Amino acid sequence: MRALFKVLVAVLLSTLTAPTALAQVVVGSTVSPLSGAAAFCISFPDRCESQSPAVVEMTELRFAELYVVNHLVNETITYQREPPGIDIWQDRDFTEGDCEDFALLKRRKLISAKWDPGALRIAIVLRNWGDEELHAFLIAATDQGDFVLDIPAEDSEDIGAIRTWNPKEFAEVRMIWGADGAWYALGSDVKTVSGAQ
């Protein structure tokens, strides 16, 4: 079974690293954080401490950690959208949450697995034109490119899928929580928003 898992990880890793150009996040100027992010950092400053940007060496073990954490959180937490105007960010002691809660919990679990916090960032995007809500997910920076740990789409059964960062899959990329604790624009058109769902 262990040998089969190693083969599976190697195959998945080889498919994700096939592109010649690494998929990496490029940031712009600093922007104001979402209200929920700001409140989270005021309540839990130790979880928002400035870190040096880091890039993790992607090995079979590291990829397996990404896959297991993404799968585990997606399997055990029930997605629950917050009411309009409410934006509470949490990273522990919850069984229901929305997208940024999933991302924060994945970040915490990877840090517990000795991932460098400076390599783990949260991105905010608009998935589709016409959406009224923003979406958040975790990005892991590695020497094989940046990887997205997301929650599955409603019509997907693959709860552990990990993909490389591709800004073109979203209508708009808005902002990202940098390793230094600041928020940075990901796109040129950053609007004032109330929260991510």
Please write the tens of the pLDDT for every residue from 32-56. 999 999 999 999 999 999 999 999 9
Q: Which of 192, 180, 139, 194 is nearest to 41 (CA)?
A: 180
What sign does the dihedral 40-43-48-50 (CA atoms) show? positive
126 in helix, strand or coil?
strand
Separation CA 108–CA 196 (nearest Å): 19
Q: Which tokens hold the place of 18?
A: 């096939």
Q: What is the pTM of this model?
A: 0.83
Q: Which tokens hold the place of 147?
A: 């990887």
Domain 2-185 fold is C8orf32 fold (3.10.620)
Please state the domain extents for the chain. Answer: 2-185
Q: Which tokens hold the place of 1?
A: 């079974």
- What is the tens place of the pLDDT at every residue in 131-180? 878 899 999 999 999 999 999 876 666 666 789 998 888 888 889 898 88
